[in-house]
Amino acid sequence: MPKSDPNPLSEFDLIARFFSPPAAQGFVGVGDDCGIMPVRPGFQLAVSTDTLIEGRHFFSDADPADIGHKALAVNLSDLAAAGAQPRACLLSLSLPHADESWLQAFSQGFLSLANESGCQLIGGDTTRSHDKIILGVTVLGEVPVSQALLRGRAQPDDDIWVTGQLGAPHTALQLRQGVWAADEALLAQTLPRLLRPQPPVHWAPELLGHAHAAIDISDGLIQDLQHILHDSQFGARVEAAAIPQHPALTHLSAEQQLEAVLSGGDEFELCFTAPVAQRAHILDSAAKAGVAVQRIGTITLEPTLQILDFEGKALNAEPTGFDHFNRS
Ligand code: ADP
Ligand code: MG
């Protein structure tokens, strides 16, 4: 629909057409004053929310289906980090205008991931913004009472694990922003990981009772691991050579590879710690679920972080991650 259309979609038409998936058994979906979701006895609710702003969290010209996917994926990643199973979500949309084809693709991207993840859309809010698209997503998940994975539960001698293959989102971002020399082939190989993160949502609850602490990698592996170390009051030794790396990164210099895997954000994979005795179980259950997992280091009693580069030499500079208020 052109922006100047004299009969734009009303707020209610928009909600009814694009954001009213059928409600699953036991749920009251979009359209009433409150969404209602069943909560099983013996479980706690795990709740998380994230905002995405046009130009900061997604490119203005991005495919709206990718934006819809990512808006939910970055929230599902927080549930995964708690070991919670997604159950429901809420979507707050602030749009400068109602563009039907944008909404159609956005809702398809959002709702197909919601459907795949067992996450029922039960409500939200729709408002007009001044000039930018602002998306607020809240997710609700279930986790057995007192079993949620928390950042502060790491123990000395725990293995440190990561899921997936790291470095592609950072590489795509550096290439898109012209910080790294243009390389169309490399951009094509890495961009999908930036646009469509795939957090290990289905597998994460398998970690309950096996892992000690977990976090999702949103601001860079090292910065996110630091949260676990800070909250657990222990240290760590991490071997860069052990970090699973996206295969396309072999085209980059060792320095760029190191930066991408240690400090690159937007991964939405998990970093977790678990006792050595859990190795076989973790490898086995991840293999059954088709999730890549890799041990990258150890939690140490000594509360410092030691990072070994690809040659096994200690890095002196601590790589930083992303901080909204320290960098723009
Ligand atoms: P209220 O005035 O009670 O807040 P609204 O008129 O804002 O209700 O919304 C009507 C219904 O549509 C509510 O069920 C609300 O949760 C839902 N809703 C509004 N916007 C969205 C959206 N973007 N996605 C999903 N549900 C939405
Ligand atoms: Mg409202």
Q: Which residue has the higher pLDDT, 289 or 327?
A: 289
Domains of the chain and any CATH numbers? 11-144 (3.30.1330.10), 151-308 (3.90.650.10)
Distance CA 289, CA 201 (A): 11
Confidence band, pLDDT 50/70/90 cuts, at residue 2:
very low
Q: Which ligand has the minimum distance to the alpha carbon of residue 29?
A: 1
Q: What's the whole-model pTM score?
A: 0.94
pLDDT at position 190 is 98
- Distance of CA 11 from the midpoint of ligand 1 (Å): 9
SS (H, E, C) 268-294: CCEEEEECHHHHHHHHHHHHHHCCCEE
Q: Which ligand has the minimum distance to the alpha carbon of residue 19?
A: 1
For the Cβ of 125 lying below 6 angstroms from any atom of ligand 1, the answer is: yes
163's tokens: 């899921």
Pick the residue whose CA is nearest to atom 16 on ligand 1.
123
Pick the residue whose CA is nearest to atom 13 on ligand 1.
31
Atom of ligand 1 minimally distant from the CA of 125: 20
For the Cβ of 255 lying below 6 angstroms from any atom of ligand 1, the answer is: no
Q: Which are the contacts of 242, defined by CB distance < 8 A and separation ≥ 6? A: 294, 295, 296, 297
Pick the residue whose CA is nearest to atom 14 on ligand 1.
31
Q: Does position 45 have pLDDT exceeding 60, yes or no? A: yes
For the Cβ of 32 lying below 6 angstroms from any atom of ligand 1, the answer is: yes
Confidence band, pLDDT 50/70/90 cuts, at residue 323:
low
Q: Which ligand has the minimum distance to the alpha carbon of residue 32?
A: 1
pLDDT digit string (tens) for 143-163? 999 999 999 999 999 999 999
pLDDT at position 8 is 72
Rounded (10°) angle between helices 254-263 and 168-176: 110
**DSSP string computed for 1-61:** --TT-SSPPPHHHHHHHHS-PPPPTT-B-BTBSS-B----TTEEEEEEEEEEEBTTTB-TT
